[in-house]
């Protein structure tokens, strides 16, 4: 676990809880979770819009040649 043992991490966690309180930490966790969800949704939307644009560029228009000249 690197340079720190489990006891070091437990002490750090205890100090953080004492400083911020459990309610504030819960709110921060919810805010971070909401931000991550929004980011994932934005990335998914960007990928789908890029796919739609790519499909639109690849679309073939069919028609009939009525007048053909050579230069």
Domain edges within the chain: 21-53
Is the pTM higher than 0.75? The answer reads no
- Greater confidence, 70 or 46? 46
For 23-52, the DSSP string reads HHHHHHHHHHHHHHHHHHHHHHHHHHHHHH
How far apart CA 4 and CA 6 sit, in angstroms, is 7
The reported pLDDT for the residue numbered 11 is: 93
Alpha-carbon distance values, 53 to 12, 24, 27, 61, 62 (Å): 50, 43, 39, 16, 19
Give the tens place of pLDDT for each residue, 42-64.
888 887 777 766 666 656 566 66
Give the tens place of pLDDT for each residue, 15-46.
988 988 888 888 888 899 999 999 999 888 88
**End-to-end CA separation in angstroms for the chain:** 76
């Amino acid at each position: 676990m690197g340079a720190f043992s489990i006891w070091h991490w437990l002490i750090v966690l205890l100090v953080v809880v004492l400083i911020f309180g459990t309610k504030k930490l819960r709110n921060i966790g919810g805010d971070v979770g909401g931000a991550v969800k929004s980011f994932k949704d934005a990335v998914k939307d960007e990928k789908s819009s890029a796919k739609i644009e790519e499909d639109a560029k690849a679309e073939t228009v069919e028609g009939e040649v009525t007048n053909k000249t050579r230069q």
